[in-house]
Structure 1
Amino acid sequence: MKSFWCERAWLPDGVASRVLVRAERGTIVDVSTVDTIPLGCERLYGMVLPGFANAHSHAFHRALRGRTHADGGTFWTWRDRMYALAEGLTPDGYLRLARAVYAEMAVAGVTAVGEFHYLHHGGNEMGEALRQAAADAGIRITLLDACYLAGGIGQPVTGVQELFSDGTAERWAARVADLPEDGNTRVGAAIHSVRAVPRSALSLVAGAFPDRPLHVHLSEQPAENEACLEAYGLTPTGLLHEAGALTPRTTAVHATHLTAADVGLLGSTSTGACFCPTTEADLADGIGPARELSDAGSPLSLGSDQHAVVDPLLEARGLEHGERLRSGRRGRFAPAELVAALTNHAALGWPAAGRIEPGAPADLVAIGLGSARTAGCAPDQVVLAATASDVTTVVSGGRVVARDGVHETLGDVGRLLEAVL
């Protein structure tokens, strides 16, 4: 039995003080308030939130941080740099890179990551590297294996894209079926995009694993919408709906350039929407209709995508700030709504996680309230003031994995990343 005393904790019913969390075999078994701090328990000061879920990651993109800005350009020119990086990766190199990236996430409060994985290289070695990297970093992983069959609508894969493709949806499904799950790993599916999966294959991919999470890049760029409308007479959302791909287990990533009808389809099917505000700003993607999607019935989640920043608190704040910029109004999302998006583990197939209550994984993130950023802020509004630099202690599955920005087993993350990059 492990015990954690929280000066303040974000419980399902609101913020409470002097909270004792007891855990056994990585799962919370009791939550109570106490007057006296029990001997032998881990003390977590400040504001303690449930562990964060990074619902959309491309781990290898981290190697591009701070290296793509000199010449300006667009999403499409950035993609060329990304392809060049992907071509040179090996399973061993990817293990070392992903381990460092996941350690960077762990010290920032992430306890589960959704890895949108398309670097297949003809097999499952790269996926196994990602699984091992997450285990080494002490966070759970949902490996969202992406089907990637075309270089664009009506275009074959060429060059490095051939490393992403299984050739057919049937071969993709057979390979994914060989990926085992374990206590730290879920395996889900992904439609890379309507650009990369032809209309004829969408239904097969969407239905291949009906009890697992399904993610898809959706309408990240206007050019994607234009090509889809020209080829099929449907928006990407409409095409996915036709294929039966919009369901409560589906998460649409980015969902930036949507029509009102698209928003209605996503909401009415309870399809989730994952926003990645720092990436969407970095790549000049645009600002999606987050408030409208939430109101329509789409659960929201957050991701760091290409890892221009690994800071879940900045992603949460970016969600609200994007709404303020596009609407001219403050408070589009209440702090509790931002925390719900920040801790949406259900989008990754871990429905019990993301809450401090019995039966949930013992995932706890302590945020200091005495820094230059957080001093004087109301504890229940800390999500709108703190950054990852304010994360003091991270507990994943009942085990402390990070303290004050240093990983408990992997050490200084900056040095770890420097050695890899």
Structure 2
Amino acid sequence: MQIIHARQALTPEGWKDDIAVTLGDDGRIAKIAPQIGTADCTVGLLLPAPVNLHSHAFQRAMAGLSEARSPNPADSFWTWRDLMYRFLTHLTPDDVEVIAAQVFMEMLENGYGAVAEFHYLHHALGGTAYADPAEMSARIIAAANRVGLGLTLLPVLYQYGGCDQRPLSGGQLRFGNTPESYANLLNAITPGAPDFILGVAPHSLRATSPEALRDIAALRPDAPIHIHIAEQLAEVDEVQAHRGARPVEWLLDNAALSPRWCAIHATQMTEGETTALAKSGTIAGLCPITESNLGDGIFNGTEFLAAGGGFGVGSDSNIHITLFEELRVLEYSQRLRHKSRAALARPNASTGHVLYTGALAGGARAAGRNSGALAPGLWADMVALATDNAFLCNRKGDMALDTAIFAGHGPSCITDVWSAGRHKVQGGQHRDHASITRDFCATMAALQARL
């Protein structure tokens, strides 16, 4: 049992001062009560730690390598994707495990309590299957176990190179599965930690057939299901040409959308699609830093929330892993879009409060994770911040949360992070930071030599 004394904490009933959070040996919150007596540790401000709901861990190794203009004068997401495919030809299972460990450690150190890993790198070079079809999935699980980060693994079904069902080629060959081999992959995956969750993920409408999209949901009927949708205008045009409807429109008409679904990006939607997607209960999986980096576009955030939609945030390409900046960029995108301020705030809740609590609820639901609040029975996913510094200035409540998100120094105030009760970040750093980073740097040096 651990007892954490929080001088202030965000609870389902609002902000509370001087509370004791007792963690059970099972990694769940056992009790929340006024602080009396001694505690194992004292923190300044305690928050539930959100789920990072969308990550491609291996892309962390590409960070910074695609910022020069390519020979293509119309440089775009699609030229970035070509670089990613070339990069894939050099990654081994050992590389992927080491890179994922670095990524997962950075997520914990930046305030995430768990991750939903959208995992599509399944095979060896040329698409050759490993003897164990779950070889690459096992490497992601091993990395999460080493770091102590909660994991929802989302193996991806990737069948085709486009809506015309052309065969996969080049780097895509490492992603490819038939519906049958995909089902075998799911069956071969060995669960990780007690809080491990296995979901499913059709990559996109471009890469999966309508029949497979229908059938994949039945493979794990109660698990999360994630899909890339309407990220780029070229994708919208391709889907409309081949399926007779825009991507979100087609999904609404042909999939049994529900709160177990997570629509990743959805940056290209009409007003009607935005409202209908919100009302379906589908979580919008937003990745504002990556969406900005790739020029995807701006999500219809104000309209989606006004229609009752739920959302979460993820680090996607992992070019920069920081929870607070992900939320800040989301809000700033709406301000730029509407030429306003406090775009997502409500009369009774500050912008930071709406962003943070929205990411908590949406991330937990999208990951199928019993978390998202400081409440008995939930996983003890928590992040603590120091407030006695020049950044937070001993502020309290929503003002402290707004400052952490918008003043730009929230990450430097993080002192402790727990994932399912695993107290892995202490004093602002992961307990195994040195060894994980050492392995990552060695792997990157070897990879750079091969590139």
CA contact under 8 A between 2:85 and 2:170: conserved in structure 1? no
Identity of aligned residues (%): 34
Q: Give, in angstroms, the shift of residue 295 of structure 1.
A: 2.4
- Are positions 1:6 and 2:16 aligned together? no
Identify the range of structure 1 (373-382 vs 251-260) with the bigger mean alpha-carbon deviation: 373-382
| The one of 42, 50, 53 aligned to 1:52 | 50
Amino acid at match of 2:64: G
Structure 2 matches for 1:17-96, cutoff 5 A?
17-25=17-25, 26-34=27-35, 36=36, 38-45=37-44, 47-71=45-69, 73-96=75-98
Moved over 6 A (4+): none
CA contact under 8 A between 1:406 and 1:413: conserved in structure 2? no
Report the equivalent of 1:359. Answer: 377
Alignment root-mean-square deviation, CA = 1.8
CA contact under 8 A between 1:278 and 1:318: conserved in structure 2? yes
SS at 1:101 equivalent? helix
SS at 1:195 equivalent? coil
- Are positions 1:102 and 2:116 aligned together? no
CA contact under 8 A between 2:5 and 2:39: conserved in structure 1? no
**Residues 157/383 of structure 1: CA separation in 2 closer, same or farther (3 Å cut):** farther
Q: Distance in 1 between matches of 2:15 and 2:399?
A: 11
Structure 2 matches for 1:120-139, cutoff 5 A?
120-121=122-123, 122=129, 123-139=133-149
CA contact under 8 A between 1:302 and 1:342: conserved in structure 2? yes
Report the equivalent of 2:201. Answer: 190
CA contact under 8 A between 1:99 and 1:136: conserved in structure 2? yes
CA contact under 8 A between 1:53 and 1:345: conserved in structure 2? yes
SS at 1:324 equivalent? helix
Q: Distance in 2 between matches of 1:294 and 1:180?
A: 37
Q: Distance in 1 between matches of 2:183 and 2:436?
A: 36
SS at 1:152 equivalent? coil
Amino acid at match of 2:355: L
Identify the range of structure 1 (179-188 vs 212-221) with the bigger mean alpha-carbon deviation: 179-188
Amino acid at match of 2:110: A
SS at 1:257 equivalent? coil
Identify the range of structure 1 (203-212 vs 311-320) with the bigger mean alpha-carbon deviation: 203-212
Q: Give, in angstroms, the shift of residue 62 of structure 1.
A: 0.4
Structure 2 matches for 1:315-330, cutoff 5 A?
315-330=326-341
Amino acid at match of 1:131: I
CA displacement, residues 248-277 of structure 1 (integer Å, 9 cap, x when unaligned):
100001110101222133122111101111
- Are positions 1:346 and 2:356 aligned together? no
Report the equivalent of 1:398. Answer: 421
Q: Give, in angstroms, the shift of residue 9 of structure 1.
A: 0.5
The alignment's TM-score, normalised by the length of structure 1, stands at: 0.94
Q: Give, in angstroms, the shift of residue 420 of structure 1.
A: 3.0
**Residues 330/187 of structure 1: CA separation in 2 closer, same or farther (3 Å cut):** same
Structure 1: unaligned runs, 5 residues or longer:
none
Q: Give, in angstroms, the shift of residue 381 of structure 1.
A: 3.2
Identify the range of structure 1 (81-90 vs 189-198) with the bigger mean alpha-carbon deviation: 81-90
Q: Distance in 1 between matches of 2:173 and 2:302?
A: 38
Report the equivalent of 2:15. Answer: 15
| The one of 139, 162, 176 aligned to 1:152 | 162
Q: Distance in 1 between matches of 2:218 and 2:252?
A: 12
CA displacement, residues 124-148 of structure 1 (integer Å, 9 cap, x when unaligned):
1110100110111111101111110
Q: Give, in angstroms, the shift of residue 65 of structure 1.
A: 1.0
Q: Give, in angstroms, the shift of residue 405 of structure 1.
A: 3.3
Report the equivalent of 1:253. Answer: 264
SS at 1:252 equivalent? strand
Amino acid at match of 2:52: N
Q: Distance in 2 between matches of 1:272 and 1:418?
A: 36
CA contact under 8 A between 1:108 and 1:391: conserved in structure 2? yes
Q: Distance in 2 between matches of 1:316 and 1:131?
A: 27
CA contact under 8 A between 2:353 and 2:402: conserved in structure 1? no
Structure 2 matches for 1:369-384, cutoff 5 A?
369-375=387-393, 377-384=395-402
Q: Distance in 1 between matches of 2:262 and 2:24?
A: 31
Structure 2 matches for 1:257-336, cutoff 5 A?
257-333=268-344, 334-336=351-353
Q: Distance in 1 between matches of 2:442 and 2:385?
A: 28
Amino acid at match of 1:98: A
Structure 2 matches for 1:201-240, cutoff 5 A?
201-240=212-251
Identify the range of structure 1 (275-284 vs 289-298) with the bigger mean alpha-carbon deviation: 289-298
**Residues 239/173 of structure 1: CA separation in 2 closer, same or farther (3 Å cut):** farther
CA contact under 8 A between 1:193 and 1:218: conserved in structure 2? yes
Q: Distance in 2 between matches of 1:357 and 1:401?
A: 20
Q: Distance in 2 between matches of 1:278 and 1:416?
A: 26
SS at 1:267 equivalent? helix
Q: Give, in angstroms, the shift of residue 418 of structure 1.
A: 2.5
Structure 2: unaligned runs, 5 residues or longer:
124-128, 345-350, 405-409, 445-451
**Residues 245/79 of structure 1: CA separation in 2 closer, same or farther (3 Å cut):** farther
Report the equivalent of 2:348. Answer: none
The alignment's TM-score, normalised by the length of structure 2, stands at: 0.88
CA contact under 8 A between 2:119 and 2:154: conserved in structure 1? yes
CA contact under 8 A between 2:8 and 2:396: conserved in structure 1? no
Q: Distance in 2 between matches of 1:175 and 1:231?
A: 29
CA contact under 8 A between 1:180 and 1:187: conserved in structure 2? no
Q: Distance in 2 between matches of 1:416 and 1:388?
A: 23
**Residues 371/179 of structure 1: CA separation in 2 closer, same or farther (3 Å cut):** same
Q: Distance in 2 between matches of 1:217 and 1:289?
A: 16
CA displacement, residues 18-39 of structure 1 (integer Å, 9 cap, x when unaligned):
11001111111110122x5x33
Identify the range of structure 1 (396-405 vs 406-415) with the bigger mean alpha-carbon deviation: 406-415
CA contact under 8 A between 1:150 and 1:157: conserved in structure 2? yes
Number of matched pairs: 416
Q: Give, in angstroms, the shift of residue 212 of structure 1.
A: 0.5
Report the equivalent of 2:449. Answer: none
Identify the range of structure 1 (141-150 vs 232-241) with the bigger mean alpha-carbon deviation: 232-241
